[in-house]
Structure 1
Amino acid sequence: MTIHTDRLSDPAVRAFVGAVNAGDRASLLGLLTPDATMADDGSDRDLADWIDREIFSSHGHLDVDSESRDGRSLVAGYRNDTWGEMRTRWSFTVEDDGRISRFETGQA
């Protein structure tokens, strides 16, 4: 059963999922620290290139199935026009100011 975005526990993660699903690049970038980093399947990637390619230019969408670590770890169905649909895991590091400094994703 999918968890509605509005019911996700962590405010930063909730806003991240909402921005991805709305295709709102500006909002997503506003949620990240200036030096934010990310990894995909265990390998660090260029953040700006990755979000453009894997989220925005390919119409990425997250359907969250479960959350843990007070909402900072997710298991979700992720789909985009490039890869289709897959089961993924997401983990977020949220700073004291409420912005995300790192996220990691990969197949679950």
Structure 2
Amino acid sequence: MTVSAQQLSEPAVRAFVAAVNANDRDAFQQALAPGATMSDDGTERDLADWTEREIFSSSGHMEVESQKASGLSLVVRYRNEAWGEMRTAWVFIVENGKIARFETGQA
């Protein structure tokens, strides 16, 4: 069973997932707070470089399996042209309606 982007509880996370799945860079940037940060498998990454490589230039797609913590924690089947599909966990910190930080890694 999957959870559609429209069913996600947290509006900022809903906007983030919808932007990733639409491969919409502008909408993605609008979902982020100024100075947003991220980590991948516990390692801090440059957000612009990572999202270009892992999402936009490789057609990233998030198929949400479940959400917890009022929509701030997701388990996702994530796929892109670089790595194929993998089960990942995503945790979001939202400030003032925007994603201030996200952490992702293998679930």
With the shorter chain as reference, the TM-score category is over 0.9
RMSD over equivalenced CA pairs, Å: 0.5
Secondary structure of the equivalent of 1:9? Answer: coil
Give unpaired runs (5+ residues) of structure 1. Answer: none
* Residue 73 in structure 1 maps to residue 73 in structure 2: yes
Q: Match for residue 105 of structure 2?
A: 106
Give unpaired runs (5+ residues) of structure 2. Answer: none
Give the distance between the partners of 2:34 and 2:13, measured in 1 at CA.
17
Moved over 4 A (4+): none
The percent identity for this pair of structures is 63
Q: Match for residue 43 of structure 1?
A: 43
Secondary structure of the equivalent of 2:71? Answer: coil
Map residues 47-66 of structure 1 onto 2, 5 A cutoff. Answer: 47-66=47-66
Larger helix share, 1 or 2: 2
Give the distance between the partners of 1:25 and 1:13, measured in 2 at CA.
15
Deviation at 1:43, TM superposition (A): 0.3
Paired residues, number: 107
Q: What's the TM-score, normalizing by structure 2? A: 0.98
Deviation at 1:31, TM superposition (A): 1.1
Give the distance between the partners of 1:40 and 1:4, measured in 2 at CA.
23
1:65 maps to amino acid: E
Deviation at 1:34, TM superposition (A): 1.4
